[in-house]
Structure formats: structure tokens, C-alpha cells
Amino acid sequence: MTRAISDWAYGVSRVAVMTGAGISTDSGIPDYRGPDGVWTRDPAAAEVFTYPHFMAERAVRVRFWRRYLHHAAWHAEPNVAHRALAELECSDLAVRIVTQNIDGLHQKAGNTARKVLELHGSMRTVVCTRCRVRTPAAETLARVAEGTDDPACTSCGGILKLGVVMFGERLDPGILDHAQRIAVASQLLLVVGSSLRVEPAASLCAVAVDAGARLVIVNRDPTPYDYLAVNVVREPIGTALPRIVAALAGVTASPPTLGP
């Protein structure tokens, strides 16, 4: 389904953008369910990201920290799609980003931190599962690099984990409520690079549409929410998103104000 951008961009002043792993693949960070995705190449890797296994088995934690020590995201740079969304924030539109990603590339591209809601947390922090103290992930990873294969909290000795939502963990209710309020307030929900198969994040599409917003999906593969969208774009994200952003800023630009 392809419609002219002007058909659904006209009159929009409040835009919510929900991003998934697909927006960061051009930055060298593999997605999860694509042809070359993390789970596709190694289905057993999901165990490392499952909270009950992580908490119960030292061997799983050792594998987890080894994997994240050399994760591509630590050295990744924002790509053209991230930069396009940073430019969109500089337009006359009210823009909020709700991301399923944990890589921090939206902020690195120039989006204001308070306007980026990280649904699944951030890999830039580490949290103690016992005392809940948060510390920079770099500190823990330095310990792993020096040979500590299952680092414990330096304050209480509890198990440390990245400050991200693992499989088997509930999304923070406050963060989910914030995301739903952003969706309800939007006139356009632009979904970029998400399979929309992870709930409750994916349900934000229905929340926005039920509140009267237009839904546009930019993703390589079909999603369960395509039927709700006024437009589905299958082009590469790095090609489609800059064009969409430019058109949004142009179509919705306010006419010049004349003097009294």
C-alpha cells in the first residue's frame, strides 16, 4: 500500500515516532528477527536474554557479559535515518520518539534526551537486581574485560544486569503509561523498523489509531498492524525516512504570519 505523503501528512503538527531494531541496522547493529538477525542466526541466543535463566544460571550470565563486551552498539554511529529524525525535531512539529532500541543512537544523533522514551531501557547503564543501584555500563564492562566473568554489585554483592528489559521481565508500568499518553496525543504515529511482534510496545499502534491518529509503517517485512495503517512503506529505511521527514516538515509547515 503506497500513498502520497501529502495525503496523510497534511495538517499534522504532533508526530510520535516508534522505532525498532531495523532503524539501526545501517549503523552496523544487527536486528533480531531479520534474515541475518541475532535470533535467526543463533536461536539459542535468546536464552541469554531471558531473565529467569539469567538470574538462575551463572553460565548464562557469563555468556551474556561476553556477548555484550564486544557488542557492535558500543562503537556504532547514527545513520542517515537517525539524523533525519533529529532534523524533524528541529522543524515546527512537536516530535516525540518512543524507541524499542537500547543503543542510544537517537540521542547521539541529536534528539533531545527528554523527548526520547526508551521503552526497553538502555545498554548504557547497569542495575543491581538486589539494591537497584544504577551505574554506567562502561564500569562493569571494564571489569569483564579485566577477567571478571560474572560481575557482582560493588555495593551489596547482588547480581548485575544491563539496564534493559529482558524476556520474562515486565515493562515498567510508568514508562508504558508515558508511551501510551504520547500515542494518544499524536496526530501521526510513524513506526520505523519494528516487526511489531513484541507486546505491549506493538499495541501502541492500536492505541494511537483508536485515539484518532494516522498510522504509517516503514518496515521491510509485513507486521501484524499493517491493516491499521494509512500507508505501509517497504523501501529501505535509509532511503524512505529522509524523504518522509522532508515532506512532513514541508507539507505541515505553517504559512508565514502576516502583520496586523
Q: How many CB atoms lie within 10 A of CB 141?
A: 20
Verify whether residue 120 is a known catalytic residue: yes
Question: For residue 159, what is the DSSP state?
Answer: B
What angle separates helix 80-89 from helix 237-251, to the nearest 10 degrees? 10
On whether 205 is known to bind a ligand per the annotation, the reply is: no
Residue given cell 496523510 in the structure block: 8
Question: Choosing from 53, 82, 120, 178, which is the catalytic residue?
Answer: 120
Q: Which of 237, 215, 213, 211 is nearest to 227 (CA)?
A: 215
Residue given cell 504520547 in the structure block: 182
Check: CB of residue 102 under 8 Å from CB of residue 164.
yes
- For the four alpha carbons of 218, 223, 224 and 226, in that order, the dihedral sign comes to positive
Q: How many CB atoms lie within 10 A of CB 181?
A: 14
64: CB partners within 8 A, 6+ apart = 48, 49, 54
What is the three-state SS of 39-103?
Answer: HHHCHHHHHHHEHHHHHHCHHHHHHHHHHHHCCHHHHCCCCHHHHHHHHHHCCCCEEEEEECCCC
Q: Which of 225, 233, 188 is nearest to 81 (CA)?
A: 233
Residue numbers annotated as active site? 120
Q: Which residues are annotated as a binding site for Zn(2+)?
A: 128, 131, 153, 156
Binding residues, by number, are 128, 131, 153, 156
